[in-house]
Amino acid sequence: MLRIALAQVNSTVGDLDGNSAAIVEWTGRAAAAGAGLVVFPEMMLTGYPVEDLALRASFVEASIRTLRATAAELAERGLGSVAVVTGYLDRQAGLAPRVGLPAGAPRDGAAVLHGGAVAVTSAKHHLPNYGVFDEYRYFVPGDVLPVLRIAAPSGEPADVAVAICEDLWQEGGPVTVAGAARASLLVVPNASPYERGKGDARLALCRRRAAEAGAPLAYVNLIGGQDELVFDGGSMIVSAGGELLARGPQFAEALIVADVPAGRAGPEPPGDYPADARDGTTMTIRRIELPGNAAADGAAPAAPQLAPPLEDLAEVYAALVTGTRDYVRKNGFRSVILALSGGIDSALTATIASDAIGPDRVHVVLMPSDYSSEHSVTDATDLVRRQGVRARTVPIAPIVKAFDSELHLTGLAQENLQARIRGMILMSISNAEGHLVLTTGNKSELATGYSTLYGDSAGGYAPIKDVPKTLVWRLARWRNEQAARNGAEPPIPENSIAKPPSAELRPGQLDTDSLPDYAVLDALLDDYVEKDMGSAALLAAGHDPALVERVIALVDRAEYKRRQYPPGPKISAKNFGRDRRLPITSRWREPLGGQPGS
């Protein structure tokens, strides 16, 4: 048996020293638990994704230098006998780079640290370049599969192979080669962003790849937020037969310790062995021995954690809280500010913020106008009382009047003006007091352009940007029910959930004056935006033709607004941001009742 620890931690992009310290700290915990092998996530040392920092020579050099310093530091702390697998940013000196890559081609690397030194390195073989990923821009693929022979305290030694993230998702490559190498364990550092339902897909994938490799598979994922991505953890170990042996929590740092069978080692001595990767490439199996490895001997068997997965709404809510908390913290803010209108979007956003950083660090501003309803103030005040956030009121009527006397605005311009005055008030208080401004718009609004540029869309982070309106309501109800289950007061006023949504920018205005019922709208947006269906497919799916035409036009025309929107946590299969990249200037309109060019 080999005792292994999966270090599911939260690294920060660019914080090499902090991330290095985390490796040392968590290796210490793993050693204390008797583990002979500890595995960290992909790009642990640099954070993920580093984007164009991967192309900067000084950053790549610092990553490699810090990796070596980390190995030395581990040995100084008496941890040199633990085998540490960690992701980092590497480069392949001497390789003629792909066109566009700098000399010294960057790689998405994995290193084994042992005995105060870097024992072996490899790099991700399959590079994802779709959805939120742009890895062909940054990396050259790896072609080495390291296999570490680790002497187990008793019995046969373990042969541990290392693959990285996308290497699981594509066919052939490291998993196939690990099978050919008769590895007794496949460990896989990951930086796999959250989206709804992905946990099930990952478990099924790990089961399939463990079977292909003929060995247990240890999947280690990052947790935490990085701009619009949230990493959800959910690290796990699956046996060669597909049994789930251990699983970590979601959205929390954790050390998952388990004993996995050793043995099955091939007879080969240390050295390089060519292998057919079954994906059109040849890889090299690099066998090394790690003598004097210090797995716990005779220790009581580890009782591995088997955290149940969160249910759908709990998982989404945790993603929003994690993304918000980490954007605040990692960007050096201590507090947030947002507009509280009495409506459901700002109520949910305030609740997420309170759960993320505590209500005493959440500042809300009530900004009633002449068109604000009675309940807009009472519902907002009710939320303030329930949560204990810090509230102030700034009436906007005098400012509206000052603009009016200069500009004499009417109609939409007048409506937008009110939203922009509110945005400006938030920005002004932010400038004066240092709070991060949270934007309260939801995905349905962002899709249809039902928002005011520099008004309600102003801010630095948008917690519910990827949440359709119907899901906003479901999350609000879920959060209240969760409070009730725990015997706490529900944080969101029932009236904010129940009342018909309104921007309150003119007397008696309702969202349904401008938009269809949200249940109908969200179903259509899901097909058009997330599934990228064309008009013929939308009609075939049963959507109303007039509505399809109207909503497509709204979505297409709002691209310029989305480009200037702040980032927010991705929870869907296709968010507005890194996932969906469309030109602003485009005359393409999905054909309805007639084909262009025919």
597 touches its own copies (CB under 8 A): yes
Helical (H) or strand (E) element with 327: helix 312-330
Q: Tell me how far apart the alpha carbons of residues 264 and 184 are, in angstroms, rounded to a whole number.
A: 6
Q: Among all chains, which residue has been given the structure tokens 């352009």?
A: 449
Give the interface segment with its own copies, choosing from 10-18, 29-37, 202-210, 441-449 (CB under 8 A). 10-18
User: Is the Cβ–Cβ distance between 379 and 404 less than 8 Å?
Assistant: no
59 touches its own copies (CB under 8 A): yes
**Nearer Cβ to its own copies, position 130 or 593?**
130
Burial 438-469 (b: 16+ CB within 10 A, else e): bbbbbbbbbbbbbbbbebbbbbbbbbbbbbbb
How many of the other CB atoms lie within 10 Å of CB of 411?
Answer: 8
**Nearer Cβ to its own copies, position 32 or 69?**
69
Please tell me the count of residues contacting its own copies according to CB under 8 A: 106
Q: Tell me how far apart the alpha carbons of residues 424 and 337 are, in angstroms, rounded to a whole number.
A: 12
540 touches its own copies (CB under 8 A): no
Among 193, 304, 460, 468, binds its own copies (CB under 8 A): 460
Residues whose CB is less than 8 angstroms from the CB of residue 167 and which lie 6 or more positions away in sequence, other chains included: 124, 125, 126, 173, 174, 175, 188
- Give DSSP secondary structure letters for 324-375: HHHHHHHTT---EEEE--SSHHHHHHHHHHHHHH-GGGEEEEE---TT--HH
**Nearer Cβ to its own copies, position 90 or 259?**
90
Q: Where in 71-130 is the site for its own copies (CB under 8 A)?
A: 98-101, 126, 128-130
Give the interface segment with its own copies, choosing from 148-156, 240-248, 402-410, 491-499 (CB under 8 A). 402-410
595 touches its own copies (CB under 8 A): yes
- Is 582 in a helix, a strand, or coil? coil
Q: Where in 179-238 is the site for its own copies (CB under 8 A)?
A: 225-227
**Nearer Cβ to its own copies, position 20 or 373?**
20
- Interface pattern 306-335 for its own copies (x via CB under 8 A): --------------------xx--xx----
69 touches its own copies (CB under 8 A): yes
The two structure tokens encoding residue 590: 């999905």
257 touches its own copies (CB under 8 A): no
Give the interface segment with its own copies, choosing from 157-165, 180-188, 451-459, 473-481 (CB under 8 A). 451-459
**Nearer Cβ to its own copies, position 460 or 516?**
460
413 touches its own copies (CB under 8 A): yes
The two structure tokens encoding residue 384: 């303030």
Among 28, 104, 115, 131, binds its own copies (CB under 8 A): 131
Which residues are catalytic, by number? 42, 124, 165
Nearest distance in Å: CB 449, its own copies: 13
- What is the end-to-end Cα distance of the chain in Å, rounded? 68
Q: Where in 558-587 is the site for its own copies (CB under 8 A)?
A: 560, 563-567, 580-587
**Nearer Cβ to its own copies, position 111 or 294?**
111
User: Is the Cβ–Cβ distance between 238 and 206 less than 8 Å?
Assistant: yes
20 touches its own copies (CB under 8 A): yes
341 secondary structure, DSSP code: -
Characterize the bridge pairing of strands 362-366 and 223-226.
unpaired
